[in-house]
Amino acid sequence: MSGEPDQLLLSFAMSFASSPPQGVVTPLCQSLADACQPFMAGDAAARLRLAAHELFENIVKYSQSGECELGFQLFRKDSGAMRARVETRNVPAASHRADAEQRLAALCTAPDPLAHYDAIIADSARRPAGSGLGLARIHAETEYRLGYRFENEALVIVASGDVWLRGALP
């Protein structure tokens, strides 16, 4: 391990002063995946789209103040692989804050993401709303690692995972 920092290759961020319409989520995340598709190998662009869509839709849905941020970064790791990172930031409603924290903590510590996902899916069938399926889906289906932190009232969620460029598959 060289200890060299990851090299930032690509970055974009969007900030919304008031809650963006739900209708903006699909075209934005589709555009992100389309932009990455030509140089990302395998299903990397599809996994990125899923992670971005679920995270972005969550903050649009659950932001208390309406202010929210979405960011995407692509890094080159010292191993030569790439790492994609999607980050969202919002101020969730108080009722959602504890729920989100509990779900994220359970996800981040689940010893078997797939088994945890299956349990959440089965549980969600009987829940009218708020199943936490989106976050669990990111964890299990994209294999991105999820992390989170609170900055005062704001909840920051980060999903990141390895991707490979076309012609650079391991």
Q: What residue type is assigned to position 125 of the chain?
A: A
Binding footprint of other proteins, residue count (CB under 8 A): 28
- Residue 37, phi then psi, degrees to nearest 5: -55, -40
Site for other proteins contains 131 (CB under 8 A): yes
Q: What residue type is assigned to position 161 of the chain?
A: G
Interface residue with other proteins, options 50, 70, 82, 158 (CB under 8 A): 50
> Least distance in Å: CB of 75 to other proteins?
22
Site for other proteins contains 140 (CB under 8 A): yes
For other proteins, the closer of residues 50 and 82 by Cβ is: 50
Site for other proteins contains 103 (CB under 8 A): no
Residues linked to residue 159 through DSSP beta bridges, in sequence order: 86, 146
For other proteins, the closer of residues 106 and 121 by Cβ is: 121
Mask 56-95, x = binds other proteins (CB under 8 A)?
-x---x----------------------------------
What number of other Cβ atoms are within 10 A of residue 102's Cβ? 11
> What are the angstrom distances between the C-alpha of 46 and each of 36, 105, 111?
9, 25, 25
Mask 7-46, x = binds other proteins (CB under 8 A)?
---------------xx-xx---x-----------xx--x
* Window contacting other proteins (CB under 8 A); options: 1-9, 52-60, 96-104, 159-167: 52-60
H or E stretch including 115? helix 113-124
Under the phi-then-psi rule, with left for phi > 0, alpha for psi from -120 to 50, and beta for the rest, what region is 143?
left
- What three-state secondary structure class fits 119? helix
- What three-state secondary structure class fits 120? helix
Decide if 47 contacts 141 (C-beta within 8 A). yes
> Least distance in Å: CB of 22 to other proteins?
4
For other proteins, the closer of residues 39 and 117 by Cβ is: 117
